[in-house]
Amino acid sequence: MGFFNTIVRKLSYLPEIKIQNGKKLHGRALNWGIGFIAGCGFMFGYDQGVMSSLLTLDDFQRQFPTATPHSDANPLCEEDGMCIGTPELQSNMVSIYQIGCFLGAVLVLFFGDSWGRRSSTFWGTVIVTLGTVVQTSSHDYGTLCFGRIFGGIGNGMVTSTIPTWQSECAKPEDRGFLIMNEGMLIGFGIMVSYWIDYGFYFLEGSIRWRFPIAFQAIFSIIVILGVFILPDSPRWLLKKQRNEEAREVVARLAGEDIESEKVSEEMAILEHTLALEGQKFSYREFLRHGHVQHFRRMMLGVIAQAMQQFCGINLITYYATMLFEESLGFDAAMSRLLAAINGTEYWLSALVAMFFVERYGRRKLMFVGLVGMMVSMAVLAGCLSAGWRNEFGALVVPDAEGYVGTLTLFTFNTFFAIGFLGMTWLYPAEINPLRTRVQANALSTCSNWLSNYVIVMITPPAIANIGYGIYVIFAIFNFLFIPIVYFWYPETKGRSLEELDVMFAKANEENVSPVKMAQRMPKLDGNDLGRELARYFDNGSISDSSPAADEEKKIEPSSLDFITNDKEK
């Protein structure tokens, strides 16, 4: 174990390079630097999108016949040795990436706090890059699947870490915008992959599929280099008793002098919150309720990520070209062009969400998204129900229904991007307390990738067996999610991470829903926040420890002296 811990410490050490006039990044440059690198780390949308057009590409099908189901409508299937796969093998090749992502999230769940935010992001991105190399050089089904699951492990590490890192570095009023930026860049990655697939469709040879897969390494390399010019989260540094480094990072993020009153006030709140954590973390805390509400807050993130997948988005993201070509009747080139335009519209809608999230709040955007997605799926199901199978087994849809069905794929993406694309990465990162933030965020990411795996795995068999019924199912899911958001998801707009601790504690004390408490509790900062933290957590521990443990470890209030004394002192 000692050897293992030594290896972990060595891997977690990454130097920070000075590039801003011979100094480390600070102020607005640092905040935007974290946002940019975090966004590039969230370009996994590229991998999700790139497979969409490759599944129906003849050169890809020739190279991987095991991933190509037999179809009378596919001329390639008339050749010997081609189209020997099944819908299940095809979906397995696509969805195995999600299993890797799940495993990566599990790694962060157990080791993320030891590695730190920067190191988890760095090594995860290195693994993504190696996985990309394996996929690009693949010559058979097994090697391609190995490359996808290996790269997925790295992506799971990155997606479990980056939202936490960014939420812990962002100002409350900027947190929503910056983390929604990650969602926007998921959409950007999907858009880029669709356009590259479309452009390379007109070439010849294996470069038509090898280059689109390889291109994602560019984003990984940007992250690998960028991590070296950014600091770790001040909250994580404090947890590791690196107080001077934490103070320096707080000052740099605020663009203030290290001895300024603002920096001292922020450090006092962070130190006090950390002191209240008390004992060593135990996963059993997730089964407790108490005033901190660990279980409720963890489940809000887990369920949000599951809702993101079961609304039906990856039916479109991973299989857009297939839907246009095989369900709506467009030819190969037009299907790829429509997918690229669809991806562009998806990205533009995500841009809108970035600017609306702090203006209208999380709940309103989620409601708008769910209603729009429900209607889109219902209309799409109605359009496809008017179709029939021709003598080759291909679905034929009347022109009018085909055009309306095509439009619904665009409207669905629009509403998803506004309400759920970045939102479910933002919510778990901000709703959980510092003590359990890494573990809870990793659990929510596990939920995302497991749910993602289920959807991507079942889609080809479901379309083959129940046709438009799959869209009816997703419409029902979106309808059921509306009351879940209404009754259980409190608004977090504009509140600091420590303020959310107080909000849940007050809701528990007064036996009211956190949703109602969020609506009526005024914004807290400085002295007010300090007093509320002291009121709810000074008699015990933010870990919801036992009364006996509380007696053994009394929390000294000195760390709050700076913010609880009157300013006229």
pLDDT, one tens digit per residue, over 124-159 is 999 999 999 999 999 999 999 999 999 999 999 998
Whether residue 285 is predicted with pLDDT greater than 90 in this model: the reply is no
Letter for the amino acid at 125?
T
Which class for 375: exposed (0-12), middle (13-18), buried (19 or more C-beta within 10 A)? middle
Distance CA 504, CA 473 (A): 34
What residues does 389 pair with on adjacent strands? 395
Percent of the chain predicted with pLDDT > 70:
90
pLDDT at 568 over 50: no
* CA–CA gap between residue 13 and residue 228 (Å, rounded): 11
23-232+285-488 — its CATH code? 1.20.1250.20
Site of tokens 């980056």 = 162
Query: What is the pLDDT at residue 390?
Result: 65
Phi-psi region of 101 (alpha: psi -120 to 50; beta: other; left: phi over 0): alpha
pLDDT band for position 281 (50/70/90)? low
Smallest CA-to-CA distance from 356 within 569, 180, 166 is with: 180
Distance CA 337, CA 541 (A): 57
Structure tokens at 116: 């730190």
Mean pLDDT check: name the lowest of 7-11, 56-60, 223-227: 7-11
How many angstroms separate the CA atoms of 38 and 165, rounded? 9
Would the pLDDT of 547 be above 60?
Answer: no
Most distant CA pair in the chain, distance: 88
Residue whose pair of structure tokens reads 């006996």 in the numeric block: 548
Spans of all domains in the chain = 23-232+285-488, 237-276+495-564
Q: How far is CA 27 from CA 37, 44, 171, 197, in A?
A: 16, 28, 12, 39
Give dist(CA 117, CA 230) in Å, integer.
11
Specify which residues 69 forms β-bridges with: 85
List, as one string, the DSSP characters of 213-237: HHTTHHHHHHHHHHGGGSPPPHHHH
* Mean predicted confidence (pLDDT) in 459-464: 84
Average pLDDT over residues 366-394: 87
Question: Alpha-carbon distance 379 to 381, whole Å?
Answer: 5
Residue 483 CB-density burial (10 A; 0-12 exposed, 13-18 middle, 19+ buried): exposed
Alpha-carbon gap, residue 551 to 274, rounded angstroms: 18
In whole angstroms, give the CA distance from residue 198 to residue 333: 7
Compute the mean pLDDT over every residue in the chain, rounded to the nearest whole number: 86
3-state SS class at 325: helix
Cβ atoms of 34 and 169 closer than 8 Å: yes
65-69, 209-213, 362-366, 393-397: the lowest-pLDDT one? 393-397
**What is the distance, to the nearest Å, from the Cα of residue 469 to the centroid of all Cα atoms in its chain?**
28
Contacts of 499 (CB under 8 A, 6+ apart): 172, 523, 524, 525, 529
- The confidence score (pLDDT) of residue 2 equals 58
pTM, 2 dp: 0.82
**Is the model more confident about 347 or about 72?**
347
Distance between CA atoms of residues 455 and 460, nearest Å: 10
